[in-house]
Structure 1
Amino acid sequence: MRKSILIVDDEWNMRNLLKIHLMSDYDLAECSNGQDAIALVQKHSFDLILLDVMMPEMDGWEVCKAIRTMNTTPILMLTARNELKDKVHGLEIGADDYLIKPFELEELLARVKALLRRSDHHAPMVDDSSIVFGNGYFKVDRDGYQVFLDNEKLDLTPKEYEFIETIALSPKRVFTREVLLDLLWGFNDSRDMRTVDSHVKNIRIKIRETGSNYNPVQTVWGVGYKFQEPNQTL
């Protein structure tokens, strides 16, 4: 079954260029502004979204944040801005990858394939009551407020549980310490970054005590933390 890709860019030339190179392998939809993109995502299911950053009225950052309130469809941001802070901001709000214009065709195709492949093989099974990875090796019991590793319950504090649940619900997203502080503790003060690091340290210690070498919390140096699926390490 062919994968579907939504192209969001206000420039007709760019949309046309992307269509030319992708149409032979993927089903494509396109729109030229953020509002139309959000409307399409609400009505249709896509396997990947190519999202331009610099658009009038509603930029790509706003669109990305809006989409993340609805689903976890992989998002590849396209932008002419080459500053590290822009890339970090995109990752913070839920983008999965970032490609600088102008880009080589080969790099675009490689990133598209990589995102689709990751989405296929590493997506968790999620419902209202649980999040399951690795055929049940790692499970977040949302009803019971518990986490299980190889069917063994981890002795987590409520805040440690909330940390795991938050990153596991968006396994492709990189969370900065600032975002985690805001989501889990309701404040964002650079002086309290050690709060996040301390909880990560405690989670890792408790998992090591089970005898497992699996580490569900991956450090993304210079940015923050993300979830690591069991089949990436075992």
Structure 2
Amino acid sequence: MQTRLLLVEDDPEIARVVRDMFVRDGYHVTWATTGLEGWEDFQEAHYDIALVDLMLPEMDGFTLCKNIRWNSDIPLIIISARKEDEDKIEGLDIGADDYVAKPFSLKELKARVESQLRRWNRYQGVPRHENKSSFNGGVTIYWDQNKVHVNEEETPLTVKEFDLLRVLAQNPERIFSKEELFEHVWRQVDQDGLHTVTVHIKSLRTKLKDPVKTPQYIQTIWGKGYQFIGELL
């Protein structure tokens, strides 16, 4: 099978050269020119590795990398003209596996991609999450079926409600702001979307039978956002 590579780069000259090199080497390359486009592409297909620029329109590379990492453990390589140590540290802190500064040689980039893929392939077959997770209080999430049972009865969730539950429950130690959840689930950057998140969280809590004052699953962290606190059985 072809290795699927997601390239998110708004400079057409750099992107075409990088894309053409990997296509010649037998990769299937998807090229996105904005952060939002890259996030949509990632959501719609399976990829083995992603190359992400930092200075992107619509959604910056840091945010895109965070969104990808919350959903997947695939290798992530940042390619950027920003050479400050702070940018490199932030990139690695949010889950990137490597940082390649522009200008770079194609041979070096190819070598780094192949190195990350070798490392990734060693651990493939070890799933990040089980197909099913059961929590105290009677909630069971079936990840591969996009279904939730409450007290052994299926509770229908909308697509957005399940996506919200997925990102929260699969990253239980993290507090997500409304802005982050809106960007991640709705794939948009819009301050007006914060009310949308509030409404969907309220609906999700109702369906999970999770009271706001004594939550078992979704806790409001005042002034910061939401955190999943469910206890696995």
Tell me the TM-score normalised to structure 1 length.
Answer: 0.54
Which residue does the alignment assign to 1:211? none
Distance 2:127 2:59 in 1: 31
Q: Confirm whether residue 88 of structure 1 aligns to residue 89 of structure 2.
A: yes
Distance 2:14 2:87 in 1: 21
Describe the superposition over 1:181-210 as per-residue Cα deviations: whole angstroms up to 9, x where unpaired. Answer: xx7598xxxxxxxxxxxxxxxxxxxxxxxx
Distance 2:35 2:129 in 1: 29
Which residue does the alignment assign to 2:70? 69
Distance 2:23 2:174 in 1: 45
RMSD: 2.7
Q: Structure 2, unaligned stretches of length 5 or more? A: 136-171, 176-233
Is the Cα contact below 8 Å between 1:5 and 1:47 reproduced in 2? Answer: yes
Distance 1:185 1:44 in 2: 25
Q: Match for 2:93: what amino acid?
A: E
Q: Structure 1, unaligned stretches of length 5 or more? A: 131-141, 145-182, 187-234
Q: Confirm whether residue 24 of structure 1 aligns to residue 19 of structure 2.
A: no
Describe the superposition over 1:87-121 as per-residue Cα deviations: whole angstroms up to 9, x where unpaired. Answer: 11001111111000000111111001001111101
Is the Cα contact below 8 Å between 2:18 and 2:106 reproduced in 1? Answer: no
The change in CA–CA distance for 1:84 and 1:124 in structure 2 (over 3 A counts) is farther
Q: Match for 2:117: what amino acid?
A: L
Q: Confirm whether residue 121 of structure 1 aligns to residue 126 of structure 2.
A: no
Distance 1:122 1:86 in 2: 28
Q: Please state how far the C-alpha of 1:126 moved relative to its aligned partner.
A: 2.1
Which residue does the alignment assign to 1:47? 48
Q: Please state how far the C-alpha of 1:123 moved relative to its aligned partner.
A: 3.7
Is the Cα contact below 8 Å between 1:81 and 1:100 reproduced in 2? Answer: yes
Distance 1:4 1:143 in 2: 33
Is the Cα contact below 8 Å between 1:35 and 1:58 reproduced in 2? Answer: yes
Which residue does the alignment assign to 1:103? 104
Distance 1:76 1:23 in 2: 18
Distance 1:11 1:96 in 2: 22
Is the Cα contact below 8 Å between 1:8 and 1:32 reproduced in 2? Answer: yes
Q: Match for 1:18: what amino acid?
A: V
Q: Match for 2:119: what amino acid?
A: R
Q: Please state how far the C-alpha of 1:15 moved relative to its aligned partner.
A: 0.9
Secondary structure of residue in 2 paired with 1:15: helix
Is the Cα contact below 8 Å between 1:10 and 1:33 reproduced in 2? Answer: yes
Secondary structure of residue in 2 paired with 1:125: coil
Is the Cα contact below 8 Å between 2:50 and 2:76 reproduced in 1? Answer: yes
Distance 2:106 2:21 in 1: 8
Q: Match for 2:92: what amino acid?
A: L
Which residue does the alignment assign to 2:38? 37
Is the Cα contact below 8 Å between 1:53 and 1:78 reproduced in 2? Answer: yes
Q: Please state how far the C-alpha of 1:13 moved relative to its aligned partner.
A: 0.8
The change in CA–CA distance for 1:21 and 1:57 in structure 2 (over 3 A counts) is same
Tell me the TM-score normalised to structure 2 length.
Answer: 0.54
Q: Match for 1:13: what amino acid?
A: E
